[in-house]
Amino acid sequence: MAGKRWYKPVFLTLVVLSFVLIAVGASLTETGTEELAYGSSGSFFIDDSHAEASIIVFTDDDEANCENFDLTVDRRDGSFEIVPVEKTSCERWSLSDSYQFRLNNLTEERYGFSASGVVTIVAVQGDLDAYMEDYASGNSIADLGTSMCCISILLHVFIGRGIAKASNTEQQVVVKQMYIDAYNQPAFAQTAQAVEPAPVEPEGASIQEAVMEEAQEIMNDASLAETLDETAASGGAFWDNIPED
């Protein structure tokens, strides 16, 4: 059975490797960033730490219709002034190294937003182009890890069931073979097993028979002696009556 469990450590290794890939991908997409808001509507705050940051927006649905997807940002200082939003061209909308919107010239204050779908507003520190390259690579690595994890689990289930089924079939064959071998034993062996030992006569019966035989012999001897005595007695009278010459 130990030889048939080879798949468990293999699949465990694949699952661990998939989690490592997911972690590496997440580190590439999150390094140097700060999530400001998430959802289809809400608000976010810009402080002095975001002065040199690039404020970009990702849509959760990469396949969303670019032309019909809108994002509106306004100031929450009481004026509700609409802030200009830079929208990525629809040709680059679904590319892995592309964001969907960018917010420029934001000052330190609170802003509100409303979108056609769920979005993530992120502040990126440093070179935006370099981050987008890492973002694309990180997503690819994380997707690979996720796929590997799912495939490993499915293979573990199907191969494990297949090996268990094969093992059960093998055990059934062995049991049937043992039954056939037992059924096909030689006839003399089965007869020998069925022979019962002859009953042993009780010891008391043998002694009784010996006593009876001894008594019978004594009686026969007594009868023979009596006959000889009678013959001798009659013989003596006969010879006495014969005259001497």
What backbone torsions phi and psi does residue 88 show, to the nearest 5 degrees?
-70, 145
| In 91-202, alpha helices (H) | 128-183, 187-194
pLDDT tens readout for residues 211-233 = 466 556 655 655 555 554 555 45
Low-confidence ranges of the chain (pLDDT < 50): 1-3, 187-195, 200, 203-204, 211, 228, 232, 235-239, 241-242, 244-245
Q: 136-164, pLDDT tens digit by residue? A: 888 888 888 888 888 878 877 777 676 66
The per-residue pLDDT for 187 is: 44
Amino acid at 24: V
What pLDDT, on a 0 to 100 scale, did the predictor assign at position 194? Answer: 45
**Contact between residue 78 and residue 72 where contact means Cβ atoms under 8 Å apart:** no
The pLDDT value given to residue 243: 52
pTM assigned to the model: 0.55
CA distances from 83 to 71, 77, 131 (A): 10, 12, 24
Q: What is the pLDDT of residue 237?
A: 46
Could you tell me the residue ranges of all domains in the chain?
33-125
pLDDT of residue 50: 87
Between CA 93 and CA 102 the distance in angstroms is 12
